[in-house]
Amino acid sequence: MQAKAFNFIPLKLSSPAIKLPPAQAISFPDHVPRNISIAIPNQETSTSIEDEKVEAYWDYQFLFVSQRSETINPVTLRVIEGSIPSDFPLGTYYLTGPGLFRDDLGSTVHPLDGHGYLRAFTIDGAKGEVTFMAKYIETTAQVEEHNRETGEWRFTHRGPFSVLKNGKKIGNTKVMKNVANTSVLRWGGRLFCLWEGGAPYEIDSRSLDTIGKFDLINGVDGSSTPSTSNCEKVQVGGDEILDLAAGILKPILYGVFKMPPKRLLSHYKIDAPRNRLLMMSCNAEDMLLPRSNFTFYEFDYNFKILQKQEFTIPEHLMIHDWAFTDSHYILFGNRIKLDILGSMTAVCGLTPMITALSVNPSKSTSPIYLLPRFSEHEGRGRDWKVPIEAPDQMWVIHVGNAFQETDHNGNTQIQIQASGCSYKWFNFQKMFGYDWQSGKLDPAMMNVGEGGSKLLPHLIQVSINLDGSGNCEKCCVNPLNNQWNKATDFPVINTDFGGSNNNYVYAATSSGFRRELPHFPFDTVVKFNTVKNSTQTWSVGARRFIGEPIFVAKGSDEDDGYLLVVEYAVSKQMCYLVILDAKKIGETDAIVARLEVPKYLNFPIGFHGFWAPKDIEK
């Protein structure tokens, strides 16, 4: 068992045992060495309101503890409960997310700007063994900001959501800090880590060493091979003023701020029946203009571009996740607006770049764009440039599944399962409770008061009925389950049923028993049965949290498989890999196995993961 050990900076953390520090005093703790003791309650449950406040304070902080250690060789994890089933499919669970939040000079970054830290759990059911590896993705910014010889970190890039406390602030144009920390993908025998604003980074799947950038869009560095067919640009009529503004912005954004012309989104889709990888990009200048350019790419398994389509929409939108069906690309139009004062201070380096944008609640509805996926659908039926206005104001965060069904008369029903939140709650600058001015965390933002679950992310089902000509006859938005009212996110399904009428959706939610942390962090896996309109849950326990669940198929039944989820035992500063029986969620024996990650490799909460079975590991 070996690891690269870095020099830790001992933290001078005052004990909150007497009085909880106010929210303004909450800060990111760095990685805490084993020889540092912190006076926090050791009990698993609270005995008083004051204890609950102290626990909530520390529990939230230790979910974002930086980890500076990396593995050199795979580490075999110890099974502490149950056993690894012999029929567990051979493969690797990859999970990425931020790993570092504070440098050695006092600067902190928003979790979305934290350097990508890739974790890999390789599971071998036949051997009854799980091995673990973890390494930083060596992006351009990471190599610049980390001294491998001394182990010192010094932030030089602001990042879109952060500012620098120490370092060059005024005139610092290092904004687009590609940290490759959002999602991970295994495709065409190659492994990638993705971010919301740049090219993916390719990773060696065996060693987790970084190979380098992989330019899917332009076919540079041995990546995609452009195809001369099916490359179309579908636009609304030109706007001379916007074209002029774009012409002024492009050399500034591309040249001065080094932003890529096409901002590749981190969420991708896999069309399994066609064996295609679907990806989407936006234009960099669209962040500052009241129009949006979206380009969709479809790749075969060898990264050849089979299809490319660009759509120009006359609205200021921000998309994080999206959906597709056999006929459409589906965009939930999260409306945004430009803050002129915020943009000026952001350009000067006084505020984060994201302060230039805010949500636009000017309309009580939410636009849904059904974009024709194939050329044969263009020009048939309804005008795709006119959105369907869903009768609800919602900011869509993640999509679990989408599918369409067409009857013999040509009438089509489209169903989308997603997580969404209220415009009243969503705030670019304060996600995860981060305050860029103080560089500190406040869990209250993620745990709003009474009625908060209606504002926070929750699962919805959007139903759209189209007639034979493609005209919308009905659009409605309902809870995925009428009796479920808890904050919920990270919807996932059995990917074998992606794009088809699925019965089950799994997600992360909160049990709600924590008075001070009622909604987030999540501590429960919920299983939705959309046919029976029922739910079953499994909770991790007191002072323990979970991230996104991942489904691993075993048999032909939709829920015949296992769920993988990481447990964060923050009171112990430990992480565990938990294997659940998907069929038994809600039963006492749902847990199959729990495996312990060594304490010196304890890592902060991750974002999105990917299960890669051995047949595509070759």
One-character DSSP codes across 26-60: -B---PPPTT-------SSS-SSHHHHHHHHHHHH
Instruction: List, as one string, the DSSP characters of 181-200.
Output: -SEEEEETTEEEEE-TTS--
Give per-residue pLDDT as tens, 359-376. 999 999 999 999 999 976
Instruction: List, as one string, the DSSP characters of 456-471.
Output: S-EEEEEEEEE-TTS-
pTM: 0.90
- Regarding predicted confidence, which is higher, 482 or 219? 482
Q: Tell me the pLDDT of the chain averaged across its residues.
A: 87
Distance CA 555, CA 578 (A): 20
Q: Where are the domains of the chain?
A: 3-616
Structure token pair of residue 198: 């740049």
27: closest CA among 547, 569, 437, 601? 437
Identify the residue whose tokens are 């673990």. 132
List of residues 6+ apart from 584 with CB closer than 8 A = 590
At residue 446, what are phi and psi to the nearest 5 degrees?
Answer: -90, 0
pLDDT band at 429 (very low <50, low <70, confident <90, very high): confident
pLDDT band at 342 (very low <50, low <70, confident <90, very high): confident
Does 279 score more than 80 pLDDT?
yes
Structure token pair of residue 601: 């490799």
Does 37 score more than 80 pLDDT?
no
Question: In this structure, what DSSP letter does residue 224 have?
Answer: -
Per-residue model confidence (pLDDT) at position 32: 47
Per-residue model confidence (pLDDT) at position 44: 53
Give per-residue pLDDT as tens, 569-583. 998 999 999 999 999
The average pLDDT across 581-610 equals 97
Structure token pair of residue 234: 């579908």
pLDDT band at 245 (very low <50, low <70, confident <90, very high): confident
Does 28 score more than 50 pLDDT?
yes
| 585 touches 606 (CB < 8 A) | no
Cis check: omega of the bond before 521, within 30 degrees of 0: yes
The average pLDDT across 229-252 equals 64
Pairing of β 458-466 and β 412-421: antiparallel
- Please state the length of the chain: 618
pLDDT band at 203 (very low <50, low <70, confident <90, very high): very high
Per-residue model confidence (pLDDT) at position 53: 82
Say if residue 423 is exposed, middle or buried (CB neighbours under 10 Å; 0-12, 13-18, 19+): buried
Structure token pair of residue 347: 């350009």
Per-residue model confidence (pLDDT) at position 35: 33
Identify the residue whose tokens are 């909770």. 539
Per-residue model confidence (pLDDT) at position 287: 80
Structure token pair of residue 587: 């039963």
Instruction: List, as one string, the DSSP characters of 146-192.
Output: B-TTT--B------TT---SSS--TT----------SEEEEETTEEE
Structure token pair of residue 6: 């870095």
Per-residue model confidence (pLDDT) at position 216: 85
Distance CA 134, CA 121 (A): 9
Distance CA 297, CA 285 (A): 20
The average pLDDT across 367-392 equals 84
Give per-residue pLDDT as tens, 137-153. 999 999 999 999 999 99
The average pLDDT across 426-436 equals 91
List of residues 6+ apart from 358 with CB closer than 8 A = 336, 337, 339, 342, 428
Per-residue model confidence (pLDDT) at position 255: 72
